[in-house]
A and B are shown apart, each in its own frame.
Chain A
Amino acid sequence: DAGVTQSPTHLIKTRGQQVTLRCSPKSGHDTVSWYQQALGQGPQFIFQYYEEEERQRGNFPDRFSGHQFPNYSSELNVNALLLGDSALYLCASSWDSRGGYTFGSGTRLTVV
């Protein structure tokens, strides 16, 4: 049973460009959350998707947007990349809002 799958593993982008990160949740999970983790810090909540709608959003600008597809997979889009967007982006899935989350291995984004 596959866990959470994220792609790509690593990505290098130039300042001002746009990026799309992808996540396939664990089988049986219908809720997907995205987190940003800067080097040496804990993950920061970006947003959560359920039934193809954004259900919760953290303190991130509108440059960060997302989508959830009918098969529960999700995308994170970041426009007008800044150097400060360089981070590990983690996707987490769950089926029970009161349960633990399963995290993917993350996408390491470097903005140069």
Chain B
Amino acid sequence: SQQGEEDPQALSIQEGENATMNCSYKTSINNLQWYRQNSGRGLVHLILIRSNEREKHSGRLRVTLDTSKKSSSLLITASRAADTASYFCATDALYAAGNKLTFGGGTRVLVKP
């Protein structure tokens, strides 16, 4: 089963606008990660936020984490056509042996030129 659930499932915006997507999860986590996937190929790691962090920035990306609400958001500012992709949140829960990522269903973002 998928722990993370992204909202919205799809998003269409104009180039230059901001894109915001949200992720909710169910269990305690070690960290939460966001990935981008173009055209059903490999995932690209965007940003990682640890459970003791509340906000993190990387270039045009801003991620927030609210562990009390078990939710996270990803903001892409000043979007570009190249940002068109599917975005996934993934929670990382550290187990006694090893760890695994649990992904949500993703948000499909279309940035129109």
B16-44 vs A, CB cutoff 8 Å, 1 = contact: the mask equals 00000000000000110101000011111
B42 and A33 within 8 A (CB): no
Q: How many residues does chain B have at the interface if contact means C-beta atoms less than 8 Å apart?
A: 30
Give the chain A neighbours of B48 by CB distance below 8 A: 99-100
B101 and A33 within 8 A (CB): yes
A43 and B103 within 8 A (CB): yes
- Given A55-B98, A56-B95, A100-B33: A42 and B45 interface contact (C-beta under 8 Å): no
Complex CA gap A97/B98 in Å reads: 7
Q: Closest Cβ of chain A: how far from B113's Cβ, in Å?
A: 25
Complex CA gap A104/B30 in Å reads: 23
Complex CA gap A68/B43 in Å reads: 22
Q: B40, B88, B92, B98: which has the most chain A beta carbons within 10 Å? A: B98
Q: Closest Cβ of chain A: how far from B69's Cβ, in Å?
A: 21
- Given A41-B105, A98-B30, A99-B48: A90 and B100 interface contact (C-beta under 8 Å): no
Which among B2, B42, B90, B98 is the interface contact of A50 at CB below 8 angstroms? B98
Q: B40, B44, B88, B99: which has the most chain A beta carbons within 10 Å? A: B99
Which among B2, B92, B99 is the interface contact of A42 at CB below 8 angstroms? B2
A42 and B31 within 8 A (CB): no
B88 and A103 within 8 A (CB): no
